[in-house]
Amino acid sequence: RVNEPEGVTEPASPLLMSWFGSPEGAVEPVAVLNTDRTREPTAVIEPVQVVSFLPGPYRLENYHARVRAVATNKPTSGPFRGVGRPISTFVMERLIDMASRRLSRDPEELRLQNFVGDDEFPYKTGSGIVWDKSAFTDCLTRARDAIGYESLRREQEQARTDGRWMGIGVASYCELTGIGSRISAAPGMPINTGVESATIQIDSSGAVTARFGVVSFGQGLQTSLAQVVADELGVAIEDIDVVMGDTALVAHGTGSYASRSAVLAGGAATLACHALQAKIRRVAAHLFEASPEDIEIRGSAVSVTGTDRVMTLADVARALYSEMGRLPKELRDEIDNLEATKVYDPYFGTATSASHIAVVEIDPETYQTTVRRYVVAEDCGRIINPMIADGQAHGGVAQGIGVALFEEIIHDDNGQILTASLADYVLPGAGDIPLMEVIHLETESGSTVGGYRGLGEGGTIGAPAAVANAIADALAPLGIEINELPATPERLFRLIEAARKQ
């Protein structure tokens, strides 16, 4: 884990929301008050993120939010992926489930009814965020089918007859990823997630070096960017050396955060590869005495389309760098290296959406919650590496389950921290995380170069709400709602005992 305390959301921040649900099933949140306890330098980032993303994937005609940020000297604490969005998703998804019970509707059906339709994109939410084309409905229906939703409901009926507390929880969300220069971190702030650059170079041996300002801290970014370069430039991946994290070697770099690295660095790499291909085609066209439009680059080889005439990238590089007599001076003056640098700005960014479904069972004696099954269906655009994409979802969901069931920083009345070590701060273990099924929908974004969308934070955004909804569903016969996390055994015990006394 990489913890950035200045970017952490305080989970104890109260959020009040009024809403209206029509008998026909239309759910309309109409007013939100978010009072966020935070500290500098992010006193305005988290609360604004919460109310901005709270509408999620839903069609809301009326929406008003007011933010009050209180900066204190209490250290920030809590989950560090998502920056406000786990809270906004938790609130909205709990609201949808509460509405479904009030209206005697299935929560999955109520979501489908209130989703932004496929024919409504691009869609501007009540908070002003614009969703480009995304698969809200498909994500939920694919997750529902994968987990066997109808059969689970029948199993739940039998479980209740047997006295077991089994619950099914659904959570759907949408977030803005790959944000460019148009979107500031918060209103009035002089910073934003900016732009990203890439430099792609072919040396005299034909080897390719790709340089980026972003850095990988375990998410497999080197592999992903190498694959982008290999695909876009037409070279073998084993011929590529990826150099990261040194802005002395690139035009500009902002960093790896905010689900931006693959979108921005991948986009910059794509643009740089296309510019470099144009140089290669010009040089190879002269060597082949062909038109640049007829030059094909594939597998580190350069050929003339429709013929058996072929040379390697190393041959092209030698002709430019060493065998200068083979090229006219005018061409060498125009193209003096096989290198290209491009800076990419996606301007707005792109939407990433998903639906999570969790199945839980609560022990009636220990009040311990076990997550039995978990399915994620996410639309994160064009997938670069399926295994890495799965890993991002697995890690995010694992952390989200920690948020839902285990992780909590507690202070006493004097502000003394009581969970200062791992002896007291509980993390989920391997046995607490179920096997997951991850389904990827590749709705390519028309808003980004390459069609990529960010996916680094989604697991943690959806999981707390899905698990909380599953727990509330399990305890629905007792009339219990889950409005605070983590849902520890002690907290569940108090809720259940209070319900039994009523």
Mean pLDDT in the chain? Answer: 88
Is residue 50 very low, low, confident or very high in pLDDT (cuts 50, 70, 90)? confident
> How many Å is the maximal CA-CA distance in the chain?
94
Give the mean pLDDT of 135-147. 98
CATH number of 5-182+347-501: 3.30.365.10
CB-CB contact of 298 with 224 (8 Å): no
pTM flag (> 0.75): yes
Percent of the chain exceeding pLDDT 70 equals 88
Kindly tell me the sign of the dihedral angle through the C-alpha atoms of 113, 115, 118, 122. Answer: positive
Cβ neighbours of residue 384 under 8 Å, at least 6 residues apart? 224, 227, 228, 262, 266, 452
What is each CA distance from 359 to 97, 102, 175, 239, 324, in whole angstroms? 15, 22, 24, 45, 68
The residue with greater pLDDT, 219 or 38, is 219
Residue 132 has pLDDT above 80, yes or no: yes
Query: Which of 51-60, 65-74, 128-137, 490-499 is predicted with the least confidence, judged by mean pLDDT?
Result: 65-74
pLDDT mean over 318-336: 91
- Chain segment 1-13, per-residue pLDDT in tens: 223 333 333 444 5
Q: Mean of the pLDDT values across residues 364-388? A: 96
Q: What is the pLDDT of residue 194?
A: 76
SS3 at position 364: coil
How many Å from the N-terminal Cα to the C-terminal Cα in the chain? 43
The number of angstroms, rounded, from the C-alpha of 431 to the middle of its chain's C-alpha atoms is 25
Task: Count H helices and E strands in the chain, helices first.
Answer: 12, 16
Nearest to 343 by CA among 176, 223, 230, 214: 214
pLDDT score of 62: 82
Residue 295 has pLDDT above 70, yes or no: yes
Report the distance separating Cα 281 and Cα 297, nearest Å: 8
Instruction: Give every strand in the sheet of 301-304, ordered side by side.
Output: 295-298, 301-304, 310-312
The pLDDT-based confidence of 72 (bands split at 50, 70, 90) is confident
**pLDDT of 293 higher than 80:** yes
Highest mean pLDDT among 19-28, 69-78, 193-202: 193-202
Residue 493 confidence (pLDDT) above 70: yes
Beta strands in 84-222 (DSSP E): 123-124, 130-131, 165-177, 196-202, 208-212
Confidence class for position 179, pLDDT limits 50, 70, 90 = confident
Least confident range from 90-104, 123-137, 246-260: namely 246-260
Q: What is the pLDDT of residue 138?
A: 98
Cβ atoms of 288 and 279 within 8 Å: the answer is no
Q: Indicate if the pLDDT at residue 45 is higher than 80.
A: no
Whether 196-344 and 5-182+347-501 are alike in CATH topology: the answer is yes
The token pair at 159 is: 């479980």
Residue 171 pLDDT: 98
The first and second tokens of residue 498, run together, are 């209070």
Which amino acid makes up residue 273? Answer: C
Measured between alpha carbons, how far is 28 from 26 in angstroms, rounded to an integer?
A: 7
Fold of 196-344: Aldehyde Oxidoreductase; domain 4 (3.30.365)
Torsion of CA 225, 231, 233, 239, to 10 degrees: 70
Least confidently predicted of 158-162, 314-318, 393-397, 408-412: 408-412
At residue 75's C-alpha, the angle toward residues 70 and 81, to 5°, is 90
Poorest-confidence range of 56-65, 79-88, 278-287?
Answer: 79-88
Judged against a pLDDT cut of 90, whether residue 120 lies above it is answered with yes
pLDDT digits (tens, 9 = 90+) for 205-247: 999 999 999 988 888 999 999 999 999 999 999 999 999 987 7
Residue 248 confidence (pLDDT): 81
SS3 assignment, position 435: coil
Residue 480's pLDDT band (cuts 50, 70, 90): very high
CA distances from 293 to 270, 273, 277, 280, 283 (A): 19, 16, 11, 11, 12
Alpha-carbon Rg for the chain, nearest whole angstrom, is: 26
Cβ–Cβ < 8 Å for 51, 87: no
Mean pLDDT of the 263-280 span: 97
Evaluate if residue 80 carries a pLDDT over 80. Answer: no
Extract the runs of DSSP E, i.e. beta strands, from 363-487: 369-379, 436-441
Please count the other Cβ atoms lying within 10 Å of the Cβ belonging to residue 53: 25
In degrees and rounded to multiples of 5, residue 480 shows phi and psi of -100, 135
- Judged against a pLDDT cut of 60, whether residue 318 lies above it is answered with yes
Domain boundaries, the chain: 5-182+347-501, 196-344
CA dist., res. 68 & res. 44, Å (int): 9
At 5 the pLDDT is 33
Which has more confidence, 45 or 34? Answer: 45
**Residue 423: partners with Cβ closer than 8 Å, 6 or more residues away:** none
Query: Does residue 379 register a pLDDT over 60?
Result: yes
2 Cβ partners below 8 Å, 6+ apart? 80, 217, 218
Round to whole Å and give the CA distance between 57 and 63: 14
Nearest CA-CA partner of 79 in 393, 374, 459: 459
Please enumerate in sequence order all residues whose Cβ is within 8 A of that of 28, keeping only pairs 6 or more positions apart, or say none.
19, 20, 21, 22, 60, 61, 62
Least confident of 18-22, 135-139, 356-360, 442-446: 18-22
Question: Pick from 448, 456, 411: which is nearest to 74 by CA?
Answer: 411
